[in-house]
Amino acid sequence: MTARVLNDGEAVEPLKICMIGAGGFIGSHLCERLMYATDHSVLAIDVYGDKISHLLQPGQKWSHRIEFHKINIKHDSRLEGLVKTSDLVINLAAICTPADYNTRPLDTIYSNFVDALPVVQYCRENEKRLIHFSTCEVYGKTIGSFLPKDSPLRNDPAFYMLKEDETPCIFGSIDKQRWSYACAKQLIERLIYGEGAENGLEFTIVRPFNWIGPRMDFIPGIDGPQDSVPRVLACFSNNLMKGEPLKLVDGGQSQRTFIYIKDAIEAVQRMIENPARANGQIFNVGNPNNEVTVRELAELMTDVYCKVSGNARPEVATVDVTSKEFYGVGYDDSDKRIPDMTIIKTQLEWEPKTSLYDLMEHTLTYQHTTYAEAVKKAMSKAIVT
């Protein structure tokens, strides 16, 4: 039995957690936290297990608490049985890379809505608590983005701050297929909320705001397909390791707030261990203090990468590309994402800690150590052949 993260005076009984999508970026960090720092057990479900292979080696002190099930939840009858034997289900499984939203809208909608339906259904039928991963993208564009460019109201938080229980969800037109992901995530949120209201499902919905850190996505041609486009951290890391300019989509004017994965995992542990405080809630999980434009992010990553790698700063650090060139037709963007933190602070007494500089230093050190040699080798092989 471990001490509860929040001190409500009770110890935490060890839980059996069915974690779907456990082999992904967030899942791998959550499994690590649960194995290293708690007594909970994990039934880890995913089609890939590479990012948690270090936890699955036999003979470790947590080995009896983690089991990997290589299952595609689209078509596998074993899922229901695993839900039945658990105390809590956490669903992380999704297609969640923007390059897919406009180019593979059907796979995106099926993955984020249709494939999540049986998970919700099994939780409701078997009275299991569900923590479901949604996204900050359900907010879409800010109200302020529709104001004239020079309107002073754009600086008023009422026009950009994203609040779970107040802010509307504003998406582009249907031909802007970028919003297929946000729309599917919004509908599954509404369904889960409805199951809570009508059928008593115990649920928590998580809206991550750009969580980043080691093991996020893949480096094209090294541990992922050469022609795929990962999220911005991996795109820029790849550019830096290859010594090529970082590509700024549509001028790099969009703004994001980035949070270090380890801070965010602390919030999820609090949700797991404090059901009375987390049930029925939708939580923004982000770091409002770490806001940058994508252009500023590129500058910062270039500086930090030069420091951790010892490389000289390139003469041309960035290059502009249009979204049509980079992502194809139907791309659109969220302009600004600042999470309101009132609900999570009140319910879970949680706040993020790590500055953007520090999280980037940890993360780019990892990227350099893990990939730089392999990228160099792949580049010299390409020159020879």
Interface residues with ligand NAD (CB under 6 A)?
A: 21, 23-27, 45-48, 72-74, 92-94, 96, 111, 115, 133, 135-136, 208, 210-211
- In whole angstroms, the minimum distance from the beta carbon of 59 to ligand UDP comes to 38
| Cβ-based neighbour number of residue 39 at 10 Å | 14
Question: How far apart are CB 257 and ligand UDP at their closest, in Å?
Answer: 10
8 Å CB contact between 30 and 213: no
132 neighbors 208 (Cβ within 8 angstroms):
no
Instruction: Give the residue with the Cβ less far from ligand NAD, 90 or 201.
Output: 90
d(CA 299, CA 9): 46
Residue 254 interaction partner, one of ligand NAD, ligand UDP, none, beta carbon < 5-8 Å per kind: ligand UDP
248, interface contact from ligand UDP, ligand NAD, none, CB < 5-8 Å by kind: ligand UDP
Count the Cβ atoms, other than its own, within 10 Å of residue 153: 12
Contact partner at residue 46 from ligand UDP, ligand NAD, none, CB < 5 to 8 Å by partner kind: ligand NAD
**CA–CA dist 178, 162 (Å, integer):** 20
Query: Do β-strands 291-293 and 338-339 pair in parallel, antiparallel, or remain unpaired?
Result: unpaired
Is there a catalytic annotation at residue 101? no
Minimum CB separation of residue 350 from ligand NAD in Å reads 17
As separate numbers, helices (DSSP H) first and strands (DSSP E) second, the chain gives: 14, 17
188: its two tokens: 């599954």
What minimum distance in Å lies between the beta carbon of 87 and ligand NAD? 20
Q: Judge residue 89's burial from the number of C-beta atoms within 10 Å of its C-beta, 0-12 exposed, 13-18 middle, 19 or more buried.
A: buried
Phi-psi region of 285 (alpha: psi -120 to 50; beta: other; left: phi over 0): beta
Q: 249 is in the binding site of which of ligand UDP, ligand NAD, none (Cβ under 5 to 8 A by kind)?
A: ligand UDP
Select which of 139, 181, 260, 327 is catalytic.
181
Closer Cβ to ligand UDP, 249 or 272, answer by number: 249
Q: Closest CB to ligand UDP among 21 and 196?
A: 21
Nearer to ligand UDP, 92 or 278 (CB): 92
Residue closer to ligand NAD by CB (options 71, 308) is: 71
Nearest to 317 by CA among 331, 326, 336, 304: 304
Instruction: State the nearest-atom distance from the C-beta of 251 to ligand UDP, in Å.
Output: 9
What does the alpha-carbon distance between residue 352 and residue 301 come to, in Å, rounded to a whole number? 21
Secondary structure of residue 98 in the 3-state scheme: helix
Residue 47's closest CA among 75, 66, 26? 75
User: If contact means CB under 5 to 8 A according to the sort of partner, which of ligand NAD, ligand UDP, none does residue 73 touch?
Assistant: ligand NAD
Min dist CB 380 to ligand UDP, Å, is 24
Shortest-Cβ-distance residue relative to ligand NAD: 24
Residue number, 8 or 244, with CB nearest to ligand UDP? 244
User: What residues line the site for ligand UDP (CB under 6 A)?
Assistant: 98, 137, 210, 231-232, 235, 247-249, 252, 254, 256, 294, 333-334
Residues with a known catalytic role? 181
